[in-house]
Amino acid sequence: MKITNSEELFSRAQRSIPGGVNSPVRAFKSVGGTPLFIKKAKGAYLYDADDNRYIDYINSWGPMIMGHAFEPVVEAIQKKAADSTSFGAPTELEIEMAELIKSMAPNVDLIRMVSSGTEACMSAIRLARGYTGRNKIIKFEGCYHGHADSFLVKAGSGVATFNIQTVPGVTAGVAADTLTAPYNDIEAVEQLIAEYKNQIAAIIIEPVAGNMGCILPAENFLEQLRKICTKEDIIFIFDEVMTGFRLAPGGAQERLKIDADLVTYGKVIGAGMPVGAFGGKLDIMKQIAPLGNVYQAGTLSGNPIAMIAGYILLSHLNSNISVYKELDEKGDYLRKGLFNVFDKANIPVAINQIGSMLSVHFINKPVNNFADSSAANIALFNKFFHAMLDEGVYLPPSAFESWFMSNALSYADLDNTISAAENAIKSIK
């Protein structure tokens, strides 16, 4: 495969952009090699600067649930842009977006739009602290809630990929207010609650973790957390930046039938535009300025181009809920197909999957938390990643990231992915 244009772009990029990228995982540092510079994408396919075509399993880390350049979204953006790209004043479209989200997602009485998932989670935590008057939060090892200071403690995603233990620049004071427990370990949470009685403002969790690979909540885990939060007056925050509008119209709350107090969104909600949101129960959301004194603001929040993109995509999903069933079936099909390939080749593997989220871990035991995910054969994953790229399949460049499927994937694409895996395994053995 020829990637000379990407190679040239990468060396040029490094002279003006830190590491040549605007978000660390893109640099391919953990898997090695040159990151591919992308020229365009359509449907299930990405095209790089050398015109190579790849089946895409990143989908912009989630937003492209209907595939790239989804026509209704592209047309709406083009039309909207002619009316100016920002006002800094309220618009009717923001009401329509909020009403649509309320109609789709459980437990959202009020919702505030922001411009990224990081902003959504950061604001939700401030709100939980403001509402409860408590300082500490509990998060789970390997969960990623964006790059705000409070969350960069035992974080997933790039922090895990690059094995960064403590992030310079995060003060000890801030880090001390972030308590952590292993994912799926209810006893660890109970211990923290006992130790820090009446000091914990919130428990924040990815209801299905997607930033240490894809890890499903153990049976009853979320139910038990819900009970603890209710009993201890702790705000239960679902970070649905990945799962929102992806696992069901109402996200993980709907799919797993658990009520959160606050929910954060990102990724799918903006159809690829920079959008996030946080919302939840009236009593809590009432504390946000200008209703209350918990201050939160954004010059470009509710931006018309971002709103129309998200609104058109969410409306489409809401009126075509068969998409979710189709994605579930495709996810199952891919998991089974890949499993057969590794099984036949005698390669120990755990493949975690729910709906259109999936991850492959080269390990001979189930993967239920960050320690399990870290114990897998990362070197083999990195080889597999490159062999798949050579076969024209673009996976997330890290063993600690979930794969995201779009409904633009055909069964022929899935079959091609499975046979690519077969070839990839042969080439690296």
Ligand X SMILES: *Cc1c(COP(=O)(O)O)cnc(C)c1O
Contacting residues toward ligand X, per CB under 6 A: 116-118, 121, 144-146, 206, 210-211, 239, 241-242, 266, 276
Q: Which is nearer to ligand X, 37 or 140 (by Cβ)?
A: 140
Q: How far is residue 424's CA from residue 243's CA, in Å, rounded to a whole number?
A: 29
Site of tokens 């129960």: 281
Closest separation between CB of residue 420 and ligand X, Å? 26
User: Tokens at residue 283, please?
Assistant: 């009593």
Q: Which is nearer to ligand X, 123 or 132 (by Cβ)?
A: 123
Q: Which of 376, 358, 355 is nearest to 367 (CA)?
A: 376
Report yes or no: 276 and 269 within 8 Å, Cβ to Cβ.
yes
Closest separation between CB of residue 341 and ligand X, Å? 27
Widest CA span in the chain: 61
Q: Which is nearer to ligand X, 179 or 212 (by Cβ)?
A: 212
Residue nearest to ligand X (CB): 117
Q: Which is nearer to ligand X, 52 or 398 (by Cβ)?
A: 398
Q: Which is nearer to ligand X, 397 or 420 (by Cβ)?
A: 397
Q: Which is nearer to ligand X, 120 or 285 (by Cβ)?
A: 120
Q: How far is residue 42's CA from residue 38's CA, in Å, rounded to a whole number?
A: 12
Q: Which is nearer to ligand X, 271 or 418 (by Cβ)?
A: 271
Q: What are phi and psi of 88, to 5 degrees?
A: 70, 25
Closest separation between CB of residue 137 and ligand X, Å? 14
User: Tokens at residue 11, please?
Assistant: 């060396």
Closest separation between CB of residue 319 and ligand X, Å? 26
Q: Which long-range contacts (CB under 8 A, 24 or more apart) does 344-350 make?
A: 345/422, 345/425, 345/426, 345/429, 347/380, 347/425, 350/376
Q: Which is nearer to ligand X, 44 or 241 (by Cβ)?
A: 241
Closest separation between CB of residue 61 and ligand X, Å? 6
User: Tokens at residue 429, please?
Assistant: 């053995």
- Which residues contact residue 395 at a Cβ distance below 8 angstroms, ignoring those fewer than 6 apart? 57, 58, 384, 385, 388, 389, 403
CA distances from 71 to 57, 232, 244, 309, 370 (A): 20, 47, 22, 11, 38
Catalytic residues: 144, 239, 267
| Secondary structure element (H or E) that encloses residue 263, with its range | strand 262-265
Closest separation between CB of residue 2 and ligand X, Å? 31
Closest separation between CB of residue 159 and ligand X, Å? 12
Q: How far is residue 343's CA from residue 213's CA, in Å, rounded to a whole number?
A: 20
Residue 68: DSSP 8-state: B
Q: Which is nearer to ligand X, 35 or 146 (by Cβ)?
A: 146
Closest separation between CB of residue 343 and ligand X, Å? 30
Identify the bridge partners of residue 111 per DSSP, sorted by sequence position. 279
Q: How far is residue 31's CA from residue 418's CA, in Å, rounded to a whole number?
A: 21
User: Tokens at residue 101, please?
Assistant: 């989200």
Closest separation between CB of residue 295 and ligand X, Å? 20
SS3 per-residue string spanning 75-130: HHHHHHHCCCCCCCCCCHHHHHHHHHHHHHCCCCCEEEEECCHHHHHHHHHHHHHH
Q: How far is residue 404's CA from residue 335's CA, in Å, rounded to a whole number?
A: 12
Q: How far is residue 143's CA from residue 362's CA, in Å, rounded to a whole number?
A: 20
